[in-house]
């Protein structure tokens, strides 16, 4: 409600909030979530809401570079195509400013990054995991990539950032998946070449800051992939052909490295 000065709008918002939490007084945590969820609903813009939910893919207290986040949004279509890349970046900054203005994101690192408060992130994860659209395991130090049974066909975004990946021996069936974050893991030592075979909708794949030594051959068939991030993959020595990727816009250096300010 920052920037709203009309008393009628404040009264209306109060009435909406009362209605929203009516009958939901089970405990303090749930009450807080309901209030925060009301702020999310009052964005009144599905695309703006999706941009906010995208931020849940990063670990708790993570400082997300604004430009990197916007580039993810562009790749998955949350920022519409415009005449120039600069226009798209400007549109992304405008979206971030709106989310900051309503205090759902906070600016940090002299404006270069944003972060999401822990409680807001928990609320957003609660929303994003409904209908199995998101799987967020970022920062949980998983030893292995989740087994196939954990990968729902409805998944659209998955984050396994900052995990201790040892093996990936499953072939998940996720035709709707558009974003897969694997960056900042301590290493993937066993990967099936076919692991991406059933992810034809994938648009963003980030495997930066890992010890991956080769990319699975099934990446060659990700015809919708637009951005592949491989920043600081010092052990990487094999990348299969990307000739089929007609909408592909760049690897690592062209798009810029993702991640925090560090």
Pairing of strands 167-168, 190-191: parallel
Q: Which residues of the chain have pLDDT under 70?
A: 1-33, 140-143, 149, 165-166, 186-189, 250-262
Tell me the chain's radius of gyration from C-alpha atoms. 19
Give the C-alpha separation, 89 to 215, whole Å.
Answer: 29
Q: What residues have CB less than 8 Å from 192, skipping those under 6 apart? A: 168, 169, 170, 171, 216
CA distances from 236 to 233, 252, 261 (A): 6, 13, 24
Q: What is the pTM assigned to this prediction? A: 0.82
Q: Please tell me the total number of residues recorded for the chain in this structure.
A: 262
pLDDT of residue 209: 87
- Please state the separation of Cα 129 from the chain's center in Å: 12
pLDDT of residue 25: 47
Give the C-alpha separation, 213 to 209, whole Å.
Answer: 12
Q: CA angle 117-121-127, nearest 5°?
A: 150
């Amino acid at each position: 409600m920052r920037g709203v000065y009309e008393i009628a709008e404040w009264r209306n918002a109060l009435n909406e909030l009362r209605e929203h939490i009516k009958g939901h007084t089970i405990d303090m945590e749930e009450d807080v979530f309901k209030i925060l969820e009301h702020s999310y609903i009052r964005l009144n813009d599905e695309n703006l809401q999706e941009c906010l939910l995208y931020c849940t893919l990063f670990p708790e207290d993570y400082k997300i570079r604004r430009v990197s986040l916007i580039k993810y949004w562009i790749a998955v279509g949350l920022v519409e195509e415009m005449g120039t890349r600069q226009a798209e970046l400007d549109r992304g900054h405008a979206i971030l400013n709106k989310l900051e203005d309503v205090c759902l994101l906070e600016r940090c690192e002299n404006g270069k990054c944003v972060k999401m408060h822990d409680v807001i992130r928990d609320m957003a994860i609660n929303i994003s995991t409904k209908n199995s659209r998101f799987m967020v395991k970022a920062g949980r130090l998983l030893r292995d990539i989740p087994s196939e049974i954990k990968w729902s066909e409805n998944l659209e975004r998955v984050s396994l950032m900052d995990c201790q990946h040892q093996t990936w021996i499953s072939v998940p069936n996720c035709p709707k998946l558009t974003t897969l974050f694997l960056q900042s893991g301590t290493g993937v030592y066993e990967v099936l070449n076919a692991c991406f075979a059933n992810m034809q909708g994938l648009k963003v794949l980030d495997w930066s800051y890992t010890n991956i030594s080769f990319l699975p051959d099934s990446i060659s068939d990700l015809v919708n992939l637009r951005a592949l991030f491989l920043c600081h993959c010092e052990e990487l020595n094999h990348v299969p052909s990307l000739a089929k990727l007609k909408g592909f816009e760049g690897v690592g250096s062209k798009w810029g490295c993702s991640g925090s300010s560090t």
